[in-house]
Amino acid sequence: MPGIEALIQTEQDGSISFGNFSLNEKSKKQDFEHQGDLYKVKTFYEITKLERNGMFVYESVPGTAVDHFTENDEGVSCRVEGYKTSQVTVQLEEETPYQIFENGELTAEITTNVSGKLAVNLDLEDGKPIDLEIVKA
């Protein structure tokens, strides 16, 4: 899963997949419609960023490929792949505690800041994706 050929796509289960960390030059796709919202993705080896209706949703530094990204009132879940340790930031509820699960194992509990952003470092290696789940504590 080094990257999504279309940069962003809808999966059969209603989730979205996006990003391509194997690109040498920044690529973007905007006005991608999914469930009534418009998404924009920018991605390459240095960064992957997702916006919904002009608002921040996801960012990783360096870039990642994200598979089956879903979000609901309880949090987000996805599978993330990259080529080295990445800082992943997601938009959630403000000043709310969340539990971080990597491959099903609880790794941290973090409270979001006043803007609702939560950042976590993932120890990624080429070819070894991590199932990430962030849920309200």
Q: What is the domain partition of the chain in residue ranges?
A: 3-136
Q: In angstroms, how far is CA 128 from the centroid of its own chain? A: 16
CA proximity to 16, closest of 1, 35, 30: 35
Mean pLDDT of 104-127: 95
Helix, strand, or coil here: 128? strand
Identify the pLDDT of residue 42: 97
6, 134 in Cβ contact below 8 A? no
CATH architecture of 3-136: Sandwich (2.60)
DSSP class of 125: B
Identify the pLDDT of residue 2: 53
Long-range contacts of 106-114 (CB under 8 A, 24+ apart): 109/137
43, 49 in Cβ contact below 8 A? yes
Can the peptide bond before residue 97 be classed as cis, meaning omega within 30 degrees of 0? no
124, 81 in Cβ contact below 8 A? yes
Instruction: Inform me whether the pLDDT recorded for 1 exceeds 50.
Output: no
Helix, strand, or coil here: 53? coil
The model's pLDDT over 11-62, given as tens digits with 9 standing for 90+, comes to 999 999 999 999 999 999 999 999 999 999 999 999 999 999 999 999 999 9
pTM comes to: 0.94
